[in-house]
């Protein structure tokens, strides 16, 4: 798209090369400009100090701006004269923001057609990709987000929206909103799920650890990872390769109030590795045994429904392969934030992790600021 001026009107050239009259400019006295919208940047030059725009195209002139405008020699201004059916970029940005902003988010003021969203609390960012694509496909408007299904901290930037031209058709914004709502089921494109307090039980398995042949170096890794969230470890037991004891311990921890039970080791296909069987025998709903993620292929996820007593809840049970003990980042780092936010993981979502599921084991780990786990 290109812009040109003719007879005090600003035109835009569309993809067909035809000019459409979008903005009518009029010349007014600066002292009368309060509330008017600038059609171009206003530059201030102070020798040896600055040469920069003091006001950008699209700025709405305030009473306080008038002395500044006069000081840079602007006794008269070209301003936008609103045309029926057209919206100023900031008005369009407000509509985009309303499409995006979910709970637990803060927003910036509209400026130059832009609004940014930030996290109001620690949590898990959810992005509706269908809604996002629906809006961005209209052109002349855009929404850019960070990757969904990852942890964010309070104050982190979540998304930026922008109307690209100075003015945009109101009808186009209406259609974009309708498309977004149809794609998301009348929900915001973005949502932030706050992390919850979770009680954690850890079941360490393996004859080599149980009989003291080697030191348990797996449990401290799990303790460190769950400590990054609001958790308390309520129980920890170590068993040999007896699946009945592992099953009994999982159920006992759930009875004691655990929201998460993590089982370490015993996850391969070796005859002595019986952790998957132990998890299955709890009666939990198995989501998946195996995930297309490296490290972490032998991962197991199940959910146990507590329906009786005073604390009905869904308990996540995870079987962790040995790679979690020694690799910097694994499938556990991708799933744990979702569990902490009560965001139930499906088998389809685990399958989708194959795209981007290969950790490159970089010498200096920058996760989550890398491609690991961000394929979809």
Same domain, 209 and 348: yes
- Global pTM reads 0.83
Whether the CB-CB separation of 319 and 297 falls below 8 Å is answered with: no
CA-based radius of gyration for the chain = 28
**Is there a domain that residue 364 lies in?**
no
Check residue 78 and give its pLDDT. Answer: 84
Please tell me the distance from the alpha carbon of residue 56 to that of residue 43, in angstroms, as a whole number. 9
**Does 365 reside within a domain?**
no
Tell me, yes or no, whether 52 and 147 share the same domain: no
Q: Do 236 and 347 belong to one domain?
A: yes
Same domain, residue pair 145 and 273: no
- The CATH number for 9's domain is 3.90.105.10
The predicted pLDDT at position 23 comes to 59
Work out how many domains the chain is built from and give that number: 3
Domain co-membership, 44 together with 101:
no
CATH of the domain at 139: 3.90.1150
Phi, psi for 169 (deg, rounded to 5): -65, 130
* CATH number, domain with residue 281: 3.40.980.10
Sign of CA dihedral 211, 215, 220, 222: negative
Determine contact, residues 212/229, Cβ cutoff 8 Å: no
User: 263 lies in a domain?
Assistant: yes
- Per-residue pLDDT of the chain in tens (376 residues, 90 and over written 9): 344 443 444 444 444 333 334 557 788 999 999 988 887 788 888 888 877 788 887 788 999 999 999 998 999 998 887 778 889 888 999 999 999 999 999 999 988 889 999 999 999 999 999 999 999 999 999 999 999 999 999 999 999 999 998 889 999 999 999 999 999 999 999 999 999 999 999 999 988 998 999 999 999 999 999 999 999 999 999 999 999 999 999 999 999 999 999 999 888 777 667 999 999 999 999 999 999 999 999 999 999 999 988 889 999 999 999 999 999 999 999 999 999 999 999 999 999 999 999 999 999 999 999 999 997 6
Question: Is 222 a domain residue?
Answer: yes
**C-alpha 146 chain-centroid distance:** 5
Q: What's the domain range around 105?
A: 86-193
Does 202 share its domain with 348?
yes
Judgement on whether residues 227 and 169 belong to the same structural domain of the protein: no
* 255 and 170 within one domain: no
Same domain, yes or no: 75 and 100: no
* Cα four-point dihedral sign 140, 141, 146, 147: negative
């Amino acid at each position: 798209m290109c812009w040109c001026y003719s007879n005090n009107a600003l035109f835009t050239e569309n993809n067909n090369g035809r000019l459409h009259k979008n903005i009518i400019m009029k010349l007014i006295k600066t002292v009368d400009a309060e509330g008017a919208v600038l059609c171009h940047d206003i530059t201030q030059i102070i020798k040896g100090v600055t040469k920069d725009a003091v006001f950008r195209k699209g700025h709405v002139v305030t009473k306080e701006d008038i002395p500044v405008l006069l000081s840079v020699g602007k006794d008269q201004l070209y301003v936008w004269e609103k045309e029926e059916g057209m919206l100023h970029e900031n008005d369009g940005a407000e509509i985009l923001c309303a499409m995006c902003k979910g709970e637990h988010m803060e927003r910036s003021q509209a400026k130059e057609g832009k609004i940014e969203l930030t996290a109001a609390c620690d949590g898990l960012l959810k992005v509706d990709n269908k809604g996002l694509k629906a809006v961005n496909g209209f052109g002349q408007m855009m929404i850019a987000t960070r990757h969904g299904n990852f942890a964010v901290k309070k104050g982190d930037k979540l998304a930026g929206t922008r109307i690209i031209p100075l003015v945009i058709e109101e009808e186009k914004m209406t259609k974009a909103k309708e498309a977004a709502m149809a794609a998301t089921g009348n929900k915001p494109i973005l949502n932030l799920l706050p992390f919850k307090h979770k009680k954690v039980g850890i079941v360490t398995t393996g004859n080599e650890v149980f009989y003291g042949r080697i030191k348990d170096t797996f449990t401290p890794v799990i303790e460190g990872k769950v400590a990054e969230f609001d958790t308390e470890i309520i129980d920890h037991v170590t068993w040999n390769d007896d699946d009945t004891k592992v099953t009994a311990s999982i159920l006992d921890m759930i009875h004691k109030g655990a929201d998460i039970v993590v089982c370490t080791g015993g996850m391969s296909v070796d005859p002595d590795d019986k952790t998957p069987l132990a998890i299955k025998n709890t009666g939990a709903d198995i989501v998946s045994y195996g995930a297309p993620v490296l490290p972490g292929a032998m991962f197991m996820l199940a959910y146990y429904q507590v329906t009786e007593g005073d604390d009905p809840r869904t308990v996540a049970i995870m079987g962790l392969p040995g790679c979690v003990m020694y690799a910097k980042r694994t499938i556990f780092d991708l799933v744990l934030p979702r569990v902490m936010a009560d965001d139930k993981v499906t088998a389809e979502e685990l399958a989708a992790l194959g795209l981007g599921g290969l950790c490159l084991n970089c010498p200096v780990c920058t996760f989550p600021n890398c491609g690991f786990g961000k394929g979809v």
